[in-house]
Amino acid sequence: MTISRKEIDKRIINWQYILSQGEVEMSAKRHAFKEKKEKKKKLRIVGVAIRHRAKLYPVETGPVRVRKGTKVVLEGPQGETLIGEVITGPTKLSPDVKVGARIIRRANQEDIERLKSDIRFEKSVKSYCLERIAFHKLPMNLVDVEKPFSENKVIIYFTADGRVDFRALLKDLVSKFRTRIELRQIGVRQ
């Protein structure tokens, strides 16, 4: 049985078509496998204590490898820069879990010195603020003073039974420390 040249060309074209379809199917299968593999990647989460707070925050490590006790610089949920210490070792969670913060890098000596300086500054603001609250006889209780790591401001948390006119206190604080100051009234649950 002899096959004509035309028949051979048809068969070659047919086989090329079949092979190309197989390649398309194989590439689709490879792509689906790759997507499935990417979906299986889990987030590495560590528990970080931000400064002197007792609360632990879940933080995504990203490419940074950290251990318990490592000081880290992280990006908070609102984009602010924070510094904290890793308290719990890494655990893996599904990528569906929403984590507000992520580690940018390990803290260097300069970051640690800045943190110590901020803590000293907070203590001086707190003592002066208590002194001025007593001087102005304001019906408020000072709870905490915080200087965010990446910002040039001070946040003063206080409790009070009602509204407090703290304009004179704020004026004293701004004139003494020459920085932006926020006074935030907090409730019992906060």
* Residues forming a β-bridge with 128: none
pTM of the model: 0.68
Instruction: Give residue 141's pLDDT.
Output: 93
Render pLDDT for 88-142 as a digit per residue (tens, 0 to 9): 888 877 767 777 788 889 999 999 999 899 999 999 999 999 999 999 999 999 9
Q: What is the DSSP letter of 63?
A: T
What's the average model confidence in pLDDT over 73-79?
Answer: 81
Render pLDDT for 140-181 as a digit per residue (tens, 0 to 9): 999 999 888 878 899 999 999 988 899 999 999 999 999 999
Position 19 pLDDT exceeds 60: no
**Structure-derived torsion over alpha carbons of residues 30, 35, 39, 42, reported in degrees to the nearest 10:** 70
pLDDT-derived band at 8, boundaries 50, 70, 90: low
Angle at alpha carbon of residue 185, lines to 47 and 86, rounded to 5°: 10
Instruction: Give residue 90's pLDDT.
Output: 82
Instruction: Give residue 158's pLDDT.
Output: 93
Contact 63, 106 (CB under 8 A): no
What's the average model confidence in pLDDT over 27-52?
Answer: 66
Task: Give Cα 128 distance to the centre of its chain.
Answer: 32
